[in-house]
Structure formats: C-alpha cells, structure tokens
C-alpha cells in the first residue's frame, strides 16, 4: 500500500478543527470512549514532558530498554520526513497498511465531530499500542503536559520532566513558572517522576505540584548526579556510581539527557548494561546530525553539512556548545525560523562562533519568517547575515566563499524535515 492512503486520511483529518492547537482533553476523552478506552490497556507507560530534550531522552530510554532485551512502543512528535516516524510499535515504525487502517477506524469512531489533528492521531497511536504486546509504552508530550492529548493515562509507571524553558508562550504562559506548571500537569499521585536539571523557578513549581498531589520526585542534584569526566559519562545515585562510555548523540546537553534517561531506567529497575545501551545505541535524527550522503551533501563538496532541529534559546545554547566542541573550522549557519519563535534568542549563542548566517524561508510553512526577517534577527543577535532564496542557494553561497566550511542548517524541526526529504 502506498503512503498516499495514509496521507489522504491525514489531510482529511486536518479539516475536523479550525485550529491546529486547542488545549483541552474533552474531545480526546470522547473519542477514546468511542474506541473502547485503549489508553487503559497499554503496556506500562513512561510519560515524558519538558521544553528541550524530550525526544533525545525518549530515544535513550528506548535504546536502554532494547539493550536489556525488551521492547517498547514509542510515540513522538512532530515527524521529520514521514508521519510514520511518530509511531513505533514494539520498536518498529508503523507500517503504511496498519497506519491507514487505524486512521480510518479513528475517523469513523469520531463521527465527524470536532477534534484536532494531534488529538485524533494520538488516539490512533494509543489504539495501535493497546493491540500489540510490548514491555513499555513511551509517550512524548506534544505541547505542555496538563492538557496535552497524551495526558490520558490514569497511572503511568513513571513520568519524566526534561529541562523547562521559554517556548510556546502563547499557549503555556508568559513566565517560566507558568510553563513549568503546565509541564508538571503530567504528575500523578503515587507515580515517581524523574526530573532533569532545572532552573530554580521551574523546580520550585514542580516540587510544589508534586507535594500537593503526592508524587515522589527523583530529582537531579538531589537524588542523582551526572557529569562528563575524562571523556566518560559518570552517573551517581543512591544505588551507586556508573562509569559509562559517552552518549552517541553529540553535545554537552546530551550528557544531561543521558543522565535523565539513566535515572529513568534505574527507577524502572534496569541495570548497568541497559544504561550503557541507552547511551551507545540511541539514534535521534536532526539533533546535531552530520549529513554524509545525498544531493545536498554532494552540492556542499568538501564542506561539512550538519542538521539540527532546535528552535528556542535553550536549543540555541546547546547547539552552539556542541559546535564549539568540534575541531576548529570556519562555521556558517543556514537558518529558517517560524515567526512565533524567539529568533534573536535562538541565534544569539552562535554570535562569535559562526562567521555568517544565511537566512532562508521554511518551504511549505505559512508561518515561516521571510529570509529578510530572519537575517534581520540574526544581525540583531550579533551575526553577519544575508538572505537566500533556498537551502541550495545558501549552500552555493557559502561554499563559494569558503569551500571547506562547516555548515549547520538549523532553526526549526519543520526545516529539518524538509532538508531530510530534499536530501533523500
């Protein structure tokens, strides 16, 4: 069956609600009831919220579960190249036939009632997971936590909150405390929550929420610690010390994400082999990913081509730190950013590290900033900047100036997805 079948159903689902994002659980509960409540029949759930690092942390937990000889369902968003990436059933990307069948079933059960695209596709994922055996179910929050469509499991096995930062303020609140309160909405009475390193303001909110509802915390800096030491990852908790190979995923922030994943695995009862596997085997595209094949790589010639989907100030800091750790080389950015994002805040960490930012529009995205708007933001962030008509034109511009450059394409997961598709 061709992907056109699921694509057509997904396109139809976009018409069921006038807004892309509308945070409430009422529609989700109605559809889940019509489907026979699949959320109540899932293998043990690990529910992950946070602003940054959710996907990488989930990928590491999944790799750790696999290293222990077990399998996990996994639900992530958004996808990069194909919708199927969002749903892994017992470790394997969902097939086109299974996806089309599930989407059709959810469409019929919804009976043309109003529901968002994310809600109905999340219901399809839960239905897939309820019908297939696995040892765990890993659910990544789409937006926020408290009212996210994934927040329908009454008693997960474990919850996880990765670092909270400023993002999606139009939906989650204008302050870090308000955003943290939304993330802490996934906490459940009696269910342990692994908490990554946090700003003190966010941590205070998470702690207050946990105390109010009776959710035990396993918090960085209190119950576990992680650090990089002589090229190793050192993790410590009440059970002892682990001296492990560093994460396969690049960047100092992946040491922190790795620590969070290990804390989660230890809370679930996994041993050292699973923890090492979490770091060694995790794969997560468009997170400081070196592109090595494809037409864009061929166009770049001897220049290095890297891809990162980070899009907020914290992700900018992490990306710049990861670049700074690479062998020294003239560095350029190709960046496209949505108008709703803090472009100056995202780009500022690259000032002094990148020689120039070449600004492009994100293909196919109505909400994209224009190349001129993004170039203006880059200049405000302290970068030399120029607009370009496309990623191909931007690569050509850079390699003409510096054939041996290091080029980082960054600023949006939507841009990252387009690059992966364009690069085959």
pLDDT for position 2: 47
pLDDT for position 285: 87
pLDDT for position 3: 54
pLDDT for position 88: 98
pLDDT for position 15: 81
Q: Listing from the earlier edge strand, what are the strands of the sheet with 331-335? A: 289-291, 304-307, 406-410, 331-335, 356-359, 385-387
Show the low-confidence residues of the chain (pLDDT under 70).
1-3, 18-21, 168, 171
pLDDT for position 160: 98
Residue 189 exposure: Cα atoms within 13 Å on the Cβ side: 2
Measured distance CA(218)–CA(322) in Å, rounded:
27
Task: Return the DSSP state at 88.
Answer: E
pLDDT for position 172: 78
> Cβ of 26: how many Cβ atoms within 10 Å?
11
pLDDT for position 1: 44
Measured at the CA of 80, the angle between CA 76 and CA 83, to 5 degrees, comes to 65
pLDDT for position 168: 65
What domains can be seen in the chain, in order of their start residue? 4-281 (3.40.1190.10), 289-422 (3.90.190.20)
pLDDT for position 21: 66
pLDDT for position 78: 87
pLDDT for position 149: 96
């Amino acid at each position: 069956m061709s992907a056109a079948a699921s694509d057509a159903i997904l396109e139809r689902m976009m018409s069921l609600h006038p807004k892309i994002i509308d945070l409430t659980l009422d529609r989700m509960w109605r559809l889940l009831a019509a489907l026979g409540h699949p959320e109540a029949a899932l293998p043990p759930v690990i529910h992950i919220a946070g602003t940054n690092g959710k996907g990488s942390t989930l990928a590491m937990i999944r790799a750790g579960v696999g290293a222990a000889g077990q399998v996990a369902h996994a639900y992530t968003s958004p996808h990069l190249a194909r919708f199927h990436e969002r749903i892994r059933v017992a470790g394997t990307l969902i097939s086109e036939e299974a996806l089309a069948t599930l989407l059709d079933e959810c469409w019929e059960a919804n009976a043309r009632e109003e529901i968002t695209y994310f809600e109905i596709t999340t219901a399809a994922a839960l239905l897939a997971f309820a019908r297939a055996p696995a040892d765990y179910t890993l659910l990544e929050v789409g937006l926020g936590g408290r009212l996210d469509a994934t927040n329908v499991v009454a008693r997960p096995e474990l919850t996880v909150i990765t670092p909270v930062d400023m993002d999606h303020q139009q939906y989650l609140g204008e302050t870090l405390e308000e955003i943290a309160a939304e993330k802490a909405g996934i906490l459940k009475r009696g269910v342990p929550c692994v908490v990554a390193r946090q700003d003190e303001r966010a941590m205070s909110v998470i702690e207050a929420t946990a105390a109010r509802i009776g959710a035990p915390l396993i918090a960085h800096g209190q119950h576990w610690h992680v650090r990089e030491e002589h090229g190793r990852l050192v993790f410590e908790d009440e059970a002892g010390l682990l001296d492990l190979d560093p994460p396969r995923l690049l960047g100092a922030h992946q040491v922190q994400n790795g620590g969070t994943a290990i804390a989660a695995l230890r809370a679930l009862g996994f041993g050292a082999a699973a923890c090492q596997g979490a770091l060694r085997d995790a794969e997560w595209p468009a997170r400081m990913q070196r592109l090595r094949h494809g037409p864009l790589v061929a166009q770049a010639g001897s220049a290095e081509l890297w891809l990162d989907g980070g899009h907020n100030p914290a992700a900018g800091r992490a990306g710049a730190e990861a670049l700074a750790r690479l062998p020294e080389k003239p560095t350029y950015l190709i960046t496209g950013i949505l108008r709703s994002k803090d472009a100056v805040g995202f780009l500022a960490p690259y000032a002094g590290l990148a020689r120039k930012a070449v600004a492009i529009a994100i293909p196919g995205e109505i909400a994209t900033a224009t190349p001129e708007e993004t170039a203006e933001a880059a200049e405000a962030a302290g970068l030399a900047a120029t607009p370009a008509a496309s990623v191909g034109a931007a690569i050509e511009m850079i390699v003409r100036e510096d054939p041996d450059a290091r080029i980082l394409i960054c600023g949006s997961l939507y841009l990252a997805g387009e690059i992966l598709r364009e690069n085959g």
